[in-house]
Structure 1
Amino acid sequence: MQMLGTFIKPMHREGIKFVAIFAAVTVVLFLISEVLGWIGVGLTVWCYYFFRDPERVTPPREGLVVSPADGIVSLIEPAVPPAELGMPDQPLTRVSVFMSVFNCHVNRTPIAGEITAIAYRPGKFFNASLDKASVDNERNSLAIRMADGRSLAVVQIAGLVARRIVCFTEIGAKMQTGERFGLIRFGSRLDVYLPEGVEPMVEIGQTMVAGETVLADLLLPERA
């Protein structure tokens, strides 16, 4: 059973209709050609794995900012948070996590707090690994106010293939660190804007696990 659980993961409900569509197309492909049918099987399995939603073990200590997405750290640089969130117009450290079409795409809250703003903005669909994607691409931005009064921003950004950003939470919701808050379909990126003075604990090229990998420690400056 443990070995079976290694390969078979729970699937998020958002993926049910897509897997059903892929499976239906696969049946038609088998009627046309066995070779095409098996290609359809492979694509259906890929679709199932794209929407996989495995359980994650979030670090229990307060003050730890965790990755909101599976993927690779593609950018670490100072940037102003999206204007639509109403946060101060000053650069903060932005950590970008790029998700390929093979990563799990369920997004998780990087820190516990209250959702004080959610702002969707339509846009273009450049490759999500590019710097200009943060400004030009379709995005959905959230501001999270932590217990100490500081705010952190997390932004879902659609990519070259992605065409649908899904957000499960709402303004006023009290979220826990690592809690599921959204999903982006088919390749995308998540940006985290750390509070002023907080330094990231990750490097470009590092592999991230949503809800588990620590991005930063809010208590580190106080301890120092």
Structure 2
Amino acid sequence: MSKYGENIKKIRSVRGLTQSQLADIIDVSRGVISSYEEGRAEPKIETIIKTAEVFQVTIDTLLKKNITVNQLSGFAIPDILTDNKQIATSSGNEEFAKFFPSGLIILEASKVNENIYCTGNDLIFGLKDEATKNKLFVIELYNESIIGRVTQITDEFIFLNRSKILIKDIKRTIKVIGIYQPFKTVSPLENRLMLLEKRLKKIEEAIESDWSDI
């Protein structure tokens, strides 16, 4: 059995999502999410791919490893980050920007409408791009910015989750490649979980060391 159920439960906990909200994000029912978390069912490949894409984790990690709070609270964006480790502790946009390609757009989540994908303290990383169905996008209008998954595109409209947006009103579309939640915003509960994970890792290493000496 895969680690998928355990991992989506941790994702929900860290990101503050209900089962219904997660179900809406990955296009399944709330009951299906419950069956995954309780180990009564395994997800389809399209569900696995969508989950990995939205929450920026690899499929291998999602299925075979225990996702850590660190990965979900302040994760790196695959193939975009440089080797400079300061990115994990920087807090200002200018500090972040110098570690990324010049074409990268950094938006503060507080400047887009409140949504289930991020909180007000998060930073949204994106690239200017044409809207593509099933991808996570920030749509900038003349007087507001909203974030969501493109569910439908017609000659006149883009449907962002349940929002119907006139194409002529769109200033630009930004393809979201990741969302970074600064470590300084980690809640006391998340901090305790991270400490527990570190302790468990040390215990596991100690046990492995003892076995190797036998």
Q: Name the one with the larger helix percent.
A: 2
Q: Name the one with the larger strand percent.
A: 1
- Comparing both chains, which one has the higher relative contact order based on Cα–Cα distances under 8 Å and sequence gaps of 6 or more? 1
